[in-house]
Structure 1
Amino acid sequence: MFDFLTSEPASVRVAVAFHSGYGHTARQAEAVAEGAREVAGTTAELLAVDELNDSLWSSLDAADAIVFGAPTYMGSPSAAFKTFAEGTTVALRNNMRWKDKIAAGFTNSGCMSGDKLNTLVDFTILAAQHGMIWVGLAETGGWSTTGGSVEDLNRLGSWLGAMAQSDADVGPEIAPPATDLRTASALGRRVAAVTLAYRRGASVAALV
């Protein structure tokens, strides 16, 4: 939505499209949405992709930005997310409806590494095939010096997207730790800020 008198969008919509196997990644998704909502002019919607239906596709089509999220299982996104990703061909076949939307991603696993980077790469390829514009995490890598701490923002040192680690023997009420949720919120804020800037630029260009 745009206010053509000021050449600025009145608001932007961020959709967080995610799957969570045991609830840990859902907490990460909530943190992304909360971070996005901290940016004035942004609304954020949590969309579980467990069930593919017209309501889900309509919400994604209406969004200005889509943030993809899934746990990393065996080095790649969960099977439920892969089913969703394959289902997005409905948007591809209908005039690439997600073209030029902002995209980003996040993932969680039990191990510190867990080959989470591979999941984020899968998300970027999905976004690229839709003609979307990828936004990464712009935070200094934490926990990388003797003075660093597990409490550092971006403690896992990821820039393609937000990573989180959840101990396999605790529930989502405990994990991911607060530092990883703060990192997810930082991603949400950046997505919202970039989306607002991009849409404002597009609105001005449309008037020239």
Structure 2
Amino acid sequence: MPNYFPPNSNSFVTWLAWGGGIFALLLIVGLPFYARMNNNRVGVPVEQPVDFQHNLHVTQVGLDCRYCHTTVETSNTASVPPTETCMTCHSQLRVDTPQLQAVVASWESGAPIAWNRVHDMPDYVFFNHSAHVNNGVGCSSCHGRVDQMAGMWKNEPMTMGWCLECHRAPEKFLRPASEVFNMAYSPLADPIAQETLGATLVEAYHIDTDKLIQCSTCHR
């Protein structure tokens, strides 16, 4: 029988099989990784029913985080402010502007504003805001410079690996209690000075560093 294939055909088929296998492996490994990165949506503004601008309210008006997020020091959640909080000022200010009509409609109907989540933690993760802010973790450590944001977006990936960076070495990130709500505060530039301060704060806050890396601390 005549040979219709050149002598190097077997090598070509072998290389094709290897190439296909490697491509399939890249898909299997790469697609979930891409999906996780895409789902993190770091830096992507989340569209909201009301164009609320944190930079205006924090920097220009001078509102403290706790004026709206009233339960952040006492509860697991930071709480989304009810419409009544908005209307404390806006019953008198800019009430007729287009930007405020959804707020006014909520006030008149009693139906809450349907805000879209920026940070949607998985059900298998337990996160307590009060445990963090009462132990020297600043708002901006996780949320970034909200005082400079017009819209709102996730500033950090909030992955387990990211959280563990702090849980394994809290002394690198902790700040004095007086600076927790200070958006402009940064860890000390000198790493040794920061770790010295941090070690003092770990002791002052009575933080059990062994418990920070136990699975049940966050997964209950």
Instruction: Judging by fraction of residues, say which structure has more strand.
Output: 1
Please classify the TM superposition score into its range, dividing by the shorter chain length. Answer: under 0.3
TM-score normalised according to structure 1 size: 0.25
Instruction: Judging by fraction of residues, say which structure has more helix.
Output: 2
